[in-house]
Structure 1
Amino acid sequence: MLSPTLRPCIYIRNGRFCCRSSRCKSSLQRPSPEKPHHIVNQVADIQSLAAALGSNESEKTWFCNQFLKVSVSRIVEAQEFQEESSNSPSQNPNTFAALQCKMKDYATYGLAQEAWDTLNDMKRVSGKPTVYDYNAFLYYNLKSGNLSIEDLVEVHGRMRILGPSPNALTFNTLLNGSLSLGSLEGAFYFTKEMCRNGFVPSFSFLSKLLKRSLELGDLVYSLDALELMLDLDYFPTEPTSNLLVNSFIKSGKMHEACFLLSLLSDKCFLPSMHHSYNSIIWALCKSGQTCVASALFCSLKKRGIGHNVCTYTALVHGFSREGAWKEAFHVMDEMQREGCKPNVVTYTILVKFLSDYGKIKEAQALLNKMEREGCDPDLVTYNIMLHALCRQDKIREACDLIEIIEQKGLHPNSFTYSALVGGLLKAGRIGSANKHLLDILPF
């Protein structure tokens, strides 16, 4: 062991053997991994450093042993590093593996031109670059957001003409890249190219393409995407189908919406689309095409499609709107025969249009029938009736109706009082109108 006075003068710091003694000006530097032969040269240095310790042989022996332990481990590390360096492509920038790494790094960091130049440099090697190198080029450049749709078309065209031929992964990368760039035209172009080359687009991609075209409001591409899906026996999900139908309805393209419904019907997809065909029937009834809606209603019924209260209510709305009361009440009767009970919306629609056509007695009779059948009118129904009574100066009946509303525990709102005040003013009952106005105003 070292004597207490000499032990502190030898220490290791950051891989260096150091001596605090003024008699020793040298230190042992940990060899650099790149230069393992330097370790051997340090054997002579350690002898001079040991001599500086004095004549104590035990101290010299301890010091040399410590040095050798560290040095052996350093030699092993250096040898391993040298072996790794000899196998590393980075040591030879002209190897194919090194070019692959460079191309990937350039693409990852958004240097598309440098990545492209490196891809071209790979041609020095016979049979290179492969389709997988092109796929990596596309993937990493798209991930870094450094390619345009024109770049994708150029890369694909070069592969198609000069090779290597694109594979399924190439097309999937091009398809998803086109969508991420917001190019529906590019996505459809690559989809057709994919099919032409004998590959089949996935359901998930075509579904994504359909949704994206709907989000962008492009109904032409939406229909194209749907036709592609149906040709491959892919069925869009019910929410997507409903969204597509509603998009055509909102655009006023009723014929296209009906064609879509028929197209899905041919693929036996119709039974799960109640919302879609109800939307079409409602749109037809609201646009004055109730007869067309009724024909569609009957056609669906023949196909075994069961109708619900929403479907019947749409027809009631359409016929009532056109003043075709016989047909409207016929729908009500058929509805009940089929075991589909009218709801408050169905009755309210009839009350509204009867009132609008001045048929107050019929509207009141329907209101009473509604209560007898256990379908309690809501405040909207009463407000419509109240407004109709006031328009015809039936102030007495209107006031009685207000009492009925309060007795049923409903709270009259501003529409209720506005209808009543308008009727009172029209009848010349200014005082009563002022009183009810105070109920409306917040002060």
Structure 2
Amino acid sequence: MGKIPPALRTAPFPVSNLLKKSPSVAVGSGTPTQPPPRDRHFPRKVSKKKSAPSTARDPKPPTVPFNIPSHSDAKALADSITAESAAAFYLKYHNSHLQSFSAVSSLDDSISHLREMIKNNPTFSPDRSTYHVLLIQSCKFPDSTLNNVRKVLCLMAAAGFPPDKVTTDVAVRSLCNAGCLDLALELFKEFCLKHSPPDSYTYNFLLKHLCKDRPVSVVNNFIKEMRDCFGIKPDLVAYTILIDNVCNKKNLREATRLLELLSEDGFKPDRYVYNIIMKGYCMLSQGSEVLWVYKKMKEGGVEPDLVTYNTLIFGLSKSGRVKEARKYLNVMAEMGHFPDEVTYTSLMNGMCREGNALGALQLLEEMEAQGCSPNSCTYNTLLHGLCKAKLLGRAMELYGVMKSGDMKLETGTYGTLLRALCRNGKVAEAYEVFDYAVESKSLKDFAAYSTLESTLKWLKKAKEQGLAV
């Protein structure tokens, strides 16, 4: 309980009538509250007018597909299109032609084919982008010595296109996409030594891959080497990548150190950097540190945004400081950031953690009164909390609302609801919940079966020990 996914599907169903019942409703007593008609809650689909097709003045270069990498067939096809289409005079056509051929041929055949194209088409003058087609091909299956890559680079230099920043970027990205990070790193350093230093886009791209696949020590050594040997320093984007990486690994001490280095290098942390660090402390349920980052952000003259306040409220609620978190509802509203479904769901999550599931239901009524529609995550949080608080009657009413809205059950909520039903001897209802979880594709079939099976085994054992009815 408590996960807030980045993408939240809205599914508005007012359930404030659940609050009108007595807290001591017996399990299974009463009929589930039926939600209002669906057409009152689901907006009509907005018809999108089809835009008229755009008319281009220039002919679109045709794509030349090759099923068999035959040199003679490729030449014959190219000659026929050249004779019949004005597009043959466009560079894009020739590049598309070469790209199609390179997709099904060896690098040597592609180089030979390019030479044939130059020889037989006087109007064709290849540029750097043409040779980049060959460079990308050479990076798909490189050997440990990068012979094919160097062959293309030499070919480019002989044609008057020595490696530049764009060439470096193409080679590094292609090697990384092929899963050859070490070779990309080797070529990157070689370009730094022999040619002009790569730009920040290539540097940050490589840094992001290093953060993903290598330990922090290797990343730090790379940064130090680039700084000491080539004078390449990380920029604000690079520091953001680094801080995000260590925060995801729950290494907040390193994140704090990077924040200091960022300032020493003359950069001012923006709200995105602060939000990332706040998120890291939320993962550790350290509400005091989340609040410390928020205050540091304000002291630095950086204005918080909606994400900042949502992260702050989530962090405080998760660490058991719900009352303090609620105070920031008014603060964020005063700053022009009105609470949304993420804000309220975070508070409900904290209240359910404290065992105040009925208070979370009251907050749901307040949420709807403010015109904010609850979503699937909101309902899953409440359903989980009601089951934990042993308010199964309310939980089943809420489940009925979710089922009417075709909302999916989260894995934790599904398991908790099954156990609550079985604990109270409602095995038939547990099977019905299982059927809905499978039909709505809330879980994979295997996961749904496994949870049901383990729950029934637990029930059998609990009955033997007299812990369940």
Q: TM-score, normalised by structure 2?
A: 0.52
Query: In the aligned structure 1, how far is the partner of 2:218 from the partner of 2:349?
Result: 40
Which residue of 1 is the match for residue 248 of structure 2? 286
- Is the 1:108–1:144 Cα contact (8 Å) retained in structure 2? no
Which residue of 1 is the match for residue 16 of structure 2? none
- Is the 1:174–1:190 Cα contact (8 Å) retained in structure 2? no
Which residue of 1 is the match for residue 72 of structure 2? 109
Equivalent of 2:378 in 416, 435, 438: 416
1:278–1:386: structure 2 CA closer, same or farther, 3 Å change rule? same
Query: In the aligned structure 2, how far is the partner of 1:142 from the partner of 1:249?
Result: 32
Equivalent of 1:228 in 190, 197, 200: 190
Give the aligned residue type for 2:291: F
Query: In the aligned structure 2, how far is the partner of 1:292 from the partner of 1:440?
Result: 43
Equivalent residue runs for 1:109-258 within 5 Å: 109=72, 179-181=136-138, 182-184=140-142, 185-190=146-151, 201-203=162-164, 204-258=166-220
Give the aligned residue type for 2:349: H
Q: Deviations over 1:320-351 (max 9, x none)?
A: 43455544333222211222112222222232
- Is the 2:141–2:178 Cα contact (8 Å) retained in structure 1? no
- Is the 2:281–2:315 Cα contact (8 Å) retained in structure 1? no
Query: In the aligned structure 2, how far is the partner of 1:321 from the partner of 1:415?
Result: 18
Secondary structure in structure 2 of the residue aligned to 1:306: coil
Which residue of 1 is the match for residue 261 of structure 2? 299
Give the aligned residue type for 2:385: G
Which residue of 1 is the match for residue 321 of structure 2? 359
Secondary structure in structure 1 of the residue aligned to 2:404: coil
Equivalent residue runs for 1:25-64 within 5 Å: none
Query: In the aligned structure 2, how far is the partner of 1:416 from the partner of 1:211?
Result: 40
Q: Deviations over 1:293-327 (max 9, x none)?
A: 21111112111112111111122223343455544
In the TM superposition, what is the alpha-carbon distance from 1:237 to its structure 2 partner? 4.2
Which residue of 1 is the match for residue 369 of structure 2? 407
Secondary structure in structure 1 of the residue aligned to 2:345: helix
1:143–1:252: structure 2 CA closer, same or farther, 3 Å change rule? closer
Q: Deviations over 1:24-60 (max 9, x none)?
A: xxxxxxxxxxxxxxxxxxxxxxxxxxxxxxxxxxxxx
Secondary structure in structure 1 of the residue aligned to 2:268: coil
Larger radius of gyration: 1
Secondary structure in structure 2 of the residue aligned to 1:109: helix
Equivalent residue runs for 1:325-364 within 5 Å: 325-364=287-326
Give the aligned residue type for 2:327: A
1:289–1:430: structure 2 CA closer, same or farther, 3 Å change rule? closer
Secondary structure in structure 2 of the residue aligned to 1:285: helix
Runs of 5+ consecutive residues of structure 1 not aligned to the other structure: 1-106, 112-140, 153-168
Which residue of 1 is the match for residue 419 of structure 2? none
If asked which structure has higher relative contact order (CA below 8 Å, sep 6+), I would say: 2
Secondary structure in structure 1 of the residue aligned to 2:359: helix
Equivalent residue runs for 1:424-443 within 5 Å: 424-442=386-404
Q: Percent identity?
A: 23
1:404–1:268: structure 2 CA closer, same or farther, 3 Å change rule? farther
1:187–1:433: structure 2 CA closer, same or farther, 3 Å change rule? same
Which residue of 1 is the match for residue 332 of structure 2? 370
Q: TM-score, normalised by structure 1?
A: 0.55
CA-atom RMSD, angstroms? 4.2
Equivalent of 2:352 in 386, 390, 393: 390
Query: In the aligned structure 2, how far is the partner of 1:173 from the partner of 1:368?
Result: 59
- Is the 1:149–1:183 Cα contact (8 Å) retained in structure 2? no
Between 385-394 and 366-375, report the one with greater CA deviation.
Answer: 366-375
Runs of 5+ consecutive residues of structure 2 not aligned to the other structure: 1-69, 75-97, 111-125, 406-469
